[in-house]
Structure 1
């Protein structure tokens, strides 16, 4: 799954990378978590950034709090699940990131956090779908989720899923409503592992409130209690 990611870049970095305008203020984010409001680029507005909540409310569960929403969808069944089928067809989005986190389980109680990045820690796009829903107050809100796929060799050492990372040349096609389903599905495989790297980070990432540059620094392997381990 993908349950935490980073976007440690500036507003200018994002605008230059995607050739899109961001009207809202943005500061680098180091520890993005579900339920938070973050920038995406949608099929409806490919030349501008929108700010959506991470976590989609299924059509059968409207008005639930954001924290109770789904956050990921399996790419392999995206056209089969009634919850996601329509969004995949019409409401796709790019989810800008520069890294994502996974936790390696060591024994029954120990987990070590890792950050996965592209070489050079450059910005990339995770494949997403979005939805509009009505809040309990009758207001309109927008949410998104991240598609996941089988892991590449690098990620498989830590977890059995990874986010779908789109190749830069596929981003415009992903946002184009005219792109055929077969071509879209062809984009949803694991990203080449030789274009990525991973490293251990501080267990501070476990706490959502810790959203500082310290979170993305390389550290010696430590478990969730901050104890050094030889098994990172």
Structure 2
């Protein structure tokens, strides 16, 4: 039986911004809400106690920086880290819940498949900072890998492309959905066009590395589904990205 760390009962108390704070920050508010939701998750203590505590501690750092009037970029950065660590905790809950479910099955083949999948997911997380979601494993190409208003990948992306292509070629049963995103500046039509072009650019790069083109779908979603507010340059940069979602086994990646 798998053992997990338990949290003290007081751990579930939601974080609140100190009453004397007058500053507001949308990225901090978003991270605070996500960490609070994580704390209220019924499985957080059992399956992701350490990961959840990491998210809480980082949010506390962001709160202290906000209350002390630190630079907005520092608050944004700490808020982003807290949000990502909350996401990692949620991924851990999903993964360990699935592990426990599979371990209760008598079929050895199911256990073997799960172990192989866990190993592959861990490989992606270590090499490409992938995150596990219900739709699949997600690898993100951030805005720094594209010039402003351009769709061509910079040379800095080559290493990630090669590593991702190697994984995909070693797992030919998996499908791929590439989604492009922009910030909220510019017209909707332009953002859709640019996000589609960037998604296609990543697809072409993977095909050049030997990935079968019929395994890959692309879509440009423009400013939809932001991961941060669009109020600062730093938060807008977070929203300018391309996400590569890799399916679980041979199933298609569900659309949003």
Query: Normalising by the residue count of structure 1, what TM-score does the alignment of the two structures yield?
Result: 0.25
More helix by share: 2
Larger Rg: 2
More strand by share: 1
